Amino acid sequence: MPKPPTNAQIFMQGLWSDNPVLRQVLGICSTLAVTNLLINTLVMDAGLIFTVTMSSLTVSLLRKYTPMRIRMMAQTLIIASYVIIVDISIKAHLPDISEALGPYVGLIITNCIVMGRCEAFARNNPPWPSFLDGLAMSIGYSLVLLTIAVIREPLGFGTMFGFRVMPGGFTPWTVMIMAPGAFFTLGILVWILRAYFPQTAGEKKS
Amino acid sequence: MKKRLFSVVYMFVLTLVFTSIVSAVKVFNEEKIRTNQRVKLERIILKVLDIPVKEKTSDEALGRIYARRVKGVEVRDKPLYVGYAEDGRTIVGYAFPIGGSGFWGPIYGMVAVDPEAATILGIAFYRHSETPGLGARITEDWFTRQFQGLPLHPIEGDKKIFYLKPEGTGKARDELDAVTGATGTSRAVEAFVNRELDHFLRDLWGSVKKG
């Protein structure tokens, strides 16, 4: 049996070597949808970090009691509950952002990262490493989203967090506001990253 | 057999626990969510009726202004908001919701007319799914301000109440600037706002005047 990874290793995997968006290409739908404004991205990130971390922790705590056959059902229930809590909280305290994010908060339920971490890690590991794994993976996701948003908002709206950063005569690139803009940005990011930091044998230059 | 029974009981208990937590959160926040929605609507109604409210006015202060200056009534099962002047008696205008299909999805808005329904006091679009930066610019002030003071008349033949023309080419009072780069949205807005205004003038105005 391989040695279980240390906490530091778990953390680095989520942030970098196993980064959900860049390496595993998970959670792309929300990546494309919410990254045209930094503030929306930030709220989405917070929602996802809460959901992934809490779901991983809960699944791990219950791992010894949950019957194998119904574990998916239990996971879905746990994830959905946390997502609804996030959705209600945003609606109550950040109504404007709630409207801008639209259905995407509710769709965290279907974000592959959440269930992916529950299945791949939390159900076989103790609570503390699971908590860390969830935290690292969701922060890894958040950092990528923020990177994309930092590129998209200035080019698409000429602003950063709503403050004008581009010179007066700048014509906003409408394509950056729409989903294709995110698609190009993400594609280029993954390309650069994989070219400079090859990971699997196939990616290494021969 | 025992194992299966355990699964059922386990799932039942888990569901009970989690739905209780979610319900508790919901109940706890319900009031706040409803207030948010009400405040948003009130702000829009005051805006189209041209009753000045500062951007920074607190929700409570806004609620007080609204209570003093606006009365919600129903005309033929449709909501109508009557705006009053500072004295609380003189009517300054009537606001009512409008809606129609946009380029990507439905657009909802609010429009207000003066006490004689001769001109538009103000218009606002508050829910839509138009492209950000393009069609979504119909919510911006430069676009909605053009409607203020626009003369109203029921549509006769193909003479519409207003037309949206490419930016800067409008000559007559009823030729307003469309949103550049959002022809689809502009056409949709021209169609449904004309239709809704005409509907109000023809079918509802009679009942409104009678009181």
DSSP string, A58-90: HHHHTTTTS-GGGHHHHHHHHHHHHHHHHHHHH
> What are the C-alpha distances in Å from B137 to residues B132, B143, B170, B188?
7, 7, 18, 14
More confident residue, B121 or A32: B121
Q: Look at B22 and A156 and tell me if their CB atoms are within 8 Å.
A: no
Residues of A whose CB is below 8 A from B22: 81, 84-85
User: Is the Cβ–Cβ distance between B183 and B166 less than 8 Å?
Assistant: no
The arithmetic mean of pLDDT across residues A77-88, rounded, is 94
The residue among B154, B170, B163, B169 whose CA lies nearest residue B186 is B163
Residue type, A93: H
Which one of B11, B36, B181 has the shortest CB-CB distance to A70?
B11
% of chain A at pLDDT higher than 90: 33
Encoded tokens for A101: 């994010």
pLDDT number for residue A1: 47
* Residues written for chain A: 206
The arithmetic mean of pLDDT across residues A44-67, rounded, is 93
| Residue A95 confidence class, pLDDT cut points 50, 70, 90 | confident
- Cα–Cα dist A108/A72, whole Å: 16
pLDDT number for residue B12: 94
Residue type, A140: G
pLDDT number for residue B48: 92
Residues of A whose CB is below 8 A from B3: 67
Residue A65 reports pLDDT greater than 60: yes
Beta bridge partners of B94: B82, B113
Ranges of each domain in chain A: 8-201
Residue of chain A nearest B13, judged by CA positions: A74
Q: Look at B29 and A88 and tell me if their CB atoms are within 8 Å.
A: yes
> In angstroms, what separates the C-alpha of B3 from chain A's closest C-alpha?
8
| pTM beyond cutoff 0.80 | no
Buried (b) or exposed (e) across A117-152, using 16+ Cβ within 10 A? bbeebbbebebebbbbbbbbbbbbbbbbbebbbbbb
pLDDT number for residue A2: 59
% of chain A at pLDDT higher than 70: 95
Q: Write the DSSP symbol of residue B109.
A: E
Q: How many CB pairs under 8 A join A and B?
A: 65
User: Is the Cβ–Cβ distance between B96 and B189 less than 8 Å?
Assistant: no
Interface test with B, best of A64, A91, A166 (most B CBs within 10 A): A91
Sheet bearing B70-75, strands edge to edge = B70-75, B78-84, B91-101, B106-113, B120-127
Which residues of chain B approach chain A closer than 8 Å at the C-beta?
A: 3, 6-7, 10-11, 14-15, 18-19, 21-22, 25-26, 29, 32-33, 36-37, 40, 127, 129, 131-134, 181
Q: Look at B131 and A174 and tell me if their CB atoms are within 8 Å.
A: yes
| Residue A206 confidence class, pLDDT cut points 50, 70, 90 | very low
Pairing of strands B78-84, B175-177: unpaired
Q: Look at A177 and B22 and tell me if their CB atoms are within 8 Å.
A: no
Residue A199 reports pLDDT greater than 70: no
Residue A204 reports pLDDT greater than 50: no
- Cα–Cα dist A1/A4, whole Å: 9
> In angstroms, what separates the C-alpha of A200 from chain B's closest C-alpha?
39
The arithmetic mean of pLDDT across residues A76-98, rounded, is 91
Helix and strand totals (H; E) in chain B: 5, 7
Residue A89 reports pLDDT greater than 70: yes
Q: Rounded mean pLDDT of chain A?
A: 85
> In angstroms, what separates the C-alpha of A187 from chain B's closest C-alpha?
22
Residue located via tokens 């609204």: B66
Residues of B whose CB is below 8 A from A36: 132
Residue A189 reports pLDDT greater than 60: yes
User: Going residue by residue through chain B (211 aa), what tens digit of pLDDT does each one get?
Assistant: 788 899 999 999 999 999 999 999 999 999 999 998 899 899 999 999 988 887 777 888 888 889 888 988 888 888 999 999 888 788 999 999 999 999 988 999 999 999 988 999 999 998 888 877 788 889 888 999 999 999 998 888 788 899 999 988 888 888 999 998 889 999 999 999 999 999 999 888 888 777 6
The residue among A62, A93, A82, A181 whose CA lies nearest residue A138 is A82
Encoded tokens for B179: 């949103």
> In angstroms, what separates the C-alpha of B55 from chain A's closest C-alpha?
14
Encoded tokens for B130: 């138009």
- The pLDDT tens digits of the residues spanning A108-164 come to 887 888 888 898 889 999 999 999 999 999 999 899 999 999 999 999 888 888 888
Q: Look at residue B112 and give its three-state secondary structure.
A: strand
Encoded tokens for B47: 């805006």
Which one of A62, A70, A88 has the shortest CB-CB distance to B26?
A88
Interface test with A, best of B4, B7, B42 (most A CBs within 10 A): B7
Q: Write the DSSP symbol of residue A123.
A: G
DSSP codes joined into one string, B16-67: HHHHHHHHHHHHHHHHHHHHHHHHHHHHHHHHHTT----TT--HHHHHHHHH
When mean pLDDT is compared across A44-48, A86-90, A105-109, the lowest value belongs to A105-109
The residue among B25, B32, B31 whose CA lies nearest residue A82 is B25
pLDDT number for residue A201: 47
User: Which run of H or of E encompasses A159?
Assistant: strand A159-160
Q: Sign of dihedral through CA atoms B120, B124, B127, B133? A: positive
Q: Look at A95 and B40 and tell me if their CB atoms are within 8 Å.
A: yes
